[in-house]
A and B are shown apart, each in its own frame.
Chain A
Amino acid sequence: MTTPLPLIGKSEAPGSAGRLSAIHLSIILILILAASGIIVSQSGFSGALDTLEQAIQSNTAPFVDATGTVTGTLGSAVRPITGVFDTFQPGECGPDWDLLSFTTTAQTLTLWISPTILIITIVCISLGAIYMAGQFFNSPQLIAIAKDEAIQNGMTLLRVIFIAGALFASNIWFAMSTNTFVNDPVYHANFGRTLASVSMIDAAMAFCRQTVSDMVTQYGMLLLYNSVVHALYSTTLLFGISWRSMYSFNMGPILKPIIDVIGMVLQMLSLSMSEWLLHIVTLCIIKKWTWTLLIPLGMLLRAFPFSRSAGESLLTLTMALAIFYPFMFLVDYEVHKLMKNNIVDPKKTMESFIRDAGLLRIGVGVLTVVLMMGGVLIPVLIGSSISVAFELVKGAVYYIVILGLMLPLFNIFITLTVARELARFFSVDVNFMSFLKII
């Protein structure tokens, strides 16, 4: 917009030296600004990229490797806070909670073996009492009930042995299958232990942490890009030689669709990230409480005819959760290893955008001056922005659609289907699919 107004100072003398000096003064000031920008703002956006990389690296690396954590000891106070990822660090469900793996602690054993033995004892005494009452009253009905219940409890024990055997076998299979993946961040980096001690559920949690880390990187790069583009988008340039004679224009209306797409992608990516953090919590709960709570509770519920089907469904669900749910994450990881080759590294994309595109390398101050002086450069910048936007969005879409939606859905669907089929095999009717609908 042009506003033809009288010039400052010497307006009464058109073409005079005063007018020339005002223009010269403006140009000199602009050059000073540019020079100061060149001198002091070299770190501009490239510095932001470096800072971002450092922040992500320093926070996510120990999180993914599960190193540098204080392992929670049973009965101890809450661990000290060392970083934002402490909310999901594996200390609370680390090796202390391994059972039927290769490392364990007596304390964990006592936590689940004691209540289980107590429950079995109570049930056996009750059955003995019923049997004796049957003999005393000469009641074949009571004796039959006692025998039937004894058989049912024997079946419970068989089921628990089956679950334990299956879990043990799955961990053995996992250790044997992955012993050559020494440098694999998921199969190897688990609680800083040797490879032989890694269990399937630990690897599943490691994959979740790695996925969260990747998503944080994607989010960070997109956010940085969004900051750059949004700065252009929201900028109004004012050009003139006085307050009363200037024109202004907005630089970024054309960028609005890109801003919208990136905003949407960022929102969905953050939700996917939350979802994977939820997977970590769920896997941690499964690992920690399978033997301490779920199986003893299933045994207890199954011991009584009134709650037998509840116990049966809990046992089948526990088996599906302890074996098939983590196994599905390992399948996801193998899929991810293949698929991730199709997406570009967001850090490299941003580096090429910031460092190699040329304009942003010289910092915000000079960029502004350059843009003010040469509108012809704007299409170059916008062209570069659009290509980078699409590359970044492609990667984010993979994380949102494949890792955020499809694979977790498959995992839950397959786990609940396994639970349903197992329940059917044991003649229990549980509508697991209605729970899938709830989820």
Chain B
Amino acid sequence: MPPMSFAEVIGSSSSVIHGTSGLWSWFLMSGLALMTSAVILAALYAWATLFRNPQLLVYIKSELYEMLVTAALIPIVLGMVGAMNTLTIGSLLPPDLLPAGVDGASTIYQVTGDYYTRVGNDLAQWLYMDYAASMYVDQASAVTVYIRPVGVGLVSSPLAGFASPIKQLLYNMATALSISFFINEAFMRVGLFFFQAFLQYYLPVGIFLRCFTPTRRLGGTLIGVAVAFFFVFPSISVLSYMIMYTPAGGPMLNAGAVITHFFNDFISGTNFRDFFSNNFLSGSFIDLVLSPFNLAGTALQNLFGALFMTLLIIPASAIAMGFAVSVVLPTINLMIFTQAARDLSKSFGEEVDVSSLLRVI
């Protein structure tokens, strides 16, 4: 079976969340676990009363309280996940801050998926343009001039000195974009994994385990991590989307427009066409014969104009933007997420040292 998309996993019609065969199918199992726990506690209570063990009685009362809390938690957690699945971004953000092109009626989960997909698409598009530009620059670096009238002359590659460093810059751009694409894709895949696995297995199992007295703490931990993923992860992803794609000139939107504009111009040949027509086609045949060296010099001279700035700034911008969207923001997001996950897991069960896990990652 092919991997499911965000929309398929957590769409408004997701059978996992809303259907009786999905998350709610564990409701019955959880009820059974609660009943089993109640029977165990009743037996222990009888034992404690029979043998007049006040310590055991205190423990049983505490566990009974936890069991009641768990019973309350089941509909609350499941209901909140269902509610979050229908929460729209329009009800969370003011209209001015909605990311460009995003419908206010889209759910938070859908927008989360859209964000990672959109960033991935943008990075892939830049990568494609980088590849096309690299071909042109590589051609320029390989241009070799043969001038040997009556046996005297030279063989030279006048553009190699210009094009080789730019080639390296484009190579760096490809590396940076690839890394950014990889990190972005990793976030998306982790999100998908958590939504699929936690919705269908870990959260219901966590609820079930929390209902069962001996495994209460483990179950609570699982619930805590799941809640962090269902509520904190999409929220911070949506906020990142808002930051990077604000209609008033979000960095990714801005950079995307400029990069696309200049690279398309470059790839479509406008720059090169102007360059060659200005340098090689405008002169007369006599000029061409008499001043071959001059033409090479003029061509070289004119390279250091708008073409140079385009070839220098656009790759550098793409590298910076790639790291902004896939390193700087995710780092802040990870910090918020790990703190929330640690606190939530501690509140529901046991503390998970998420930050050490992060270090391993």
User: Hey, which bits of chain A sit against chain B, CB under 8 A?
Assistant: 25-26, 29-30, 32-33, 36-37, 39-41, 43-45, 47-49, 51-52, 54-56, 59, 72-79, 81, 84-88, 91-92, 107, 111, 114-115, 216, 219-220, 222-224, 226-231, 233-243, 245-246, 262-263, 266-267, 270-271, 273-275, 277-278, 280-282, 284-285, 288-289, 292-293, 297, 301, 305-310, 313-314, 317, 363-365, 368, 372, 430-432, 434-435, 437-439
Contact = CB atoms under 8 A, between A and B. Distances in A.
A92 B254 CA distance: 9
Contact of A317 (B332, B355, B358): B332
Contacts of B293: 33, 37, 41, 363-365, 368
Contact of B300 (A30, A227, A266): A227
Interface stretch (B20-28, B37-45, B244-252): B244-252
B325 to A, nearest CB: 9
Interface stretch (B55-63, B109-117, B195-203, B315-323): B315-323
B257 A78 contact: yes
Interface string B286-300: 010011111011101
Contacts of A107: 96
A222 to B, nearest CB: 8
8 contacts: A76-B248, A84-B313, A231-B300, A237-B153, A238-B155, A246-B152, A277-B316, A430-B335
A364 B296 contact: yes
A305 B254 contact: no
B151 to A, nearest CB: 4
Given A40-B287, A274-B316, A226 B165 contact: yes
B42 to A, nearest CB: 26
Contact of B297 (A44, A223, A439): A44
Contacts of B157: 230-231, 234
Contact of A55 (B158, B305, B319, B358): B305
Contacts of B343: 306-310
Given A40-B291, A435-B334, 4 more contacts: A26-B150, A41-B297, A81-B261, A234-B161
Contacts of B317: 84, 87-88, 274, 277
A433 to B, nearest CB: 10
B243 interface: yes
B254 A78 contact: yes
Contacts of A219: 312
Interface in B69-116: 94-97, 100
Given A48-B301, A242-B151, A307-B340, A227 B161 contact: yes
Interface of B: 94-97, 100, 148-162, 164-166, 168-169, 172, 176, 232, 239, 242-243, 246-251, 253-255, 257-259, 261-262, 287, 290-294, 296-298, 300-306, 308-310, 312-317, 319-321, 323-324, 327-329, 331-332, 334-336, 339-340, 342-344, 347, 355, 358-359
DSSP majority for the A interface? helix
Nearest to A28: B150
Contacts of A363: 293-294, 297
A263 B161 CA distance: 9
A338 B236 CA distance: 42
A270 B304 contact: no
B268 to A, nearest CB: 15
A115 to B, nearest CB: 8
B309 A56 contact: yes
A299 B329 CA distance: 19
A280 B232 CA distance: 28
Contact of B327 (A55, A267, A439): A439
Contacts of A275: 320
